[in-house]
Amino acid sequence: MQVLALAKEVAQCVRNNGLPGFPDPYFDNGELKLPPVDSNVEQQGQALLDGVCREVWQRLEAVLPDKQQEGPAADEPRLRMSAEDLEKLKRFTECVRGHGIPNWPDADETGEYHLGSAGLPEGLGKGERPIDATFRDALKACDEFSVPGMGFTN
């Protein structure tokens, strides 16, 4: 099972058990991340991960890379993606462009999207600007074309 799909299963468990507005995770720079949540939601979410959602959370933890918390080291080069994954990312790119971000860049050979070079704002998807909501909606709509290891940089 893909990491992102399993992470979304965890998020759905949290939503189903008392936090209906809990956000979906996403990949950023090859790391699995969550949009910012307030400390109350974070505490309630952690309680659910330690309780009702523990089993699915443990399955996710088992497939996360050991360095998930730190992210890739700056001196570690990203690896070139397979032709199949790069082809899937082309569909992801087309999908995002079709969902309101026409200047979305193409991914490089490592699956990295360089957003700043396309004129997209820093912190895309993390704020409350209209472009952030459009980006979050596009990620959700285009998830079927996402590839483990893809990333976004500014």
20 pLDDT higher than 80:
yes
Q: Are residues 94 and 59 in the same domain?
A: no
Output the pLDDT for position 66.
56
| CA–CA gap between residue 112 and residue 67 (Å, rounded) | 18
pLDDT over 70, % of the chain: 88
The reply to whether 89 and 47 lie within a common domain is no
Average per-residue pLDDT for the chain: 82
Number of domains in the chain: 2
Is residue 148 within 8 Å of 115, Cβ to Cβ?
no
User: Could you give the CA distance from residue 112 to residue 103 in angstroms, rounded to a whole number?
Assistant: 15
pLDDT bin (cut points 50, 70, 90) of residue 100 is very high
* pLDDT given for residue 121 in this prediction: 87
Report the percentage of the chain scoring pLDDT > 90. 20
Range of the structural domain that residue 19 is part of: 3-63
Does residue 68 fall inside a structural domain? no
Is there a domain that residue 32 lies in? yes
52 lies in the same domain as 12: yes
CA distance 92 to 88: 6
Task: Note the pLDDT of residue 78.
Answer: 67
In a domain, 74, yes or no: no
Same domain, 50 and 110: no
pLDDT at 67: 44
| 11, burial (CB in 10 Å: exposed 0-12, middle 13-18, buried 19+) | buried
> Distance of alpha carbon 9 from its chain centroid, rounded?
13
pLDDT tops 60 at residue 70 = no
Picking from 30, 63, 96, the residue at the C-terminal end of a domain is 63
Residue 7, SS3 per DSSP? helix
Q: Is the pTM of this model over 0.85?
A: no
Query: Domain check: are 99 and 130 in the same one?
Result: yes
Domain-located, residue 49: yes
State both tokens at 144: 């079927």
Last residue of a domain, one of 28, 63, 98: 63
The pLDDT tens digits for 121-148 are 888 887 888 998 999 899 889 988 888 7
- Per-residue pLDDT band at 105 (split at 50, 70, 90): very high
Question: Residues 59, 101: one domain?
Answer: no
Whether residue 22 is contained in a domain is answered as yes
The answer to whether residues 143 and 87 belong to one domain is: yes
C-alpha to C-alpha distance for 11 and 21, rounded to whole angstroms? 10
pLDDT for the residue 74: 43
Same domain, 147 and 92: yes
Predicted local distance difference test score (pLDDT) of residue 61: 80
Structural contact between residues 8 and 25, judged by C-beta atoms closer than 8 angstroms: yes
Give the closest residue to 96 by CA, choosing from 39, 51, 143, 47.
Answer: 143
Q: Which of 34-38, 49-53, 87-91, 146-150 has the highest mean pLDDT?
A: 87-91
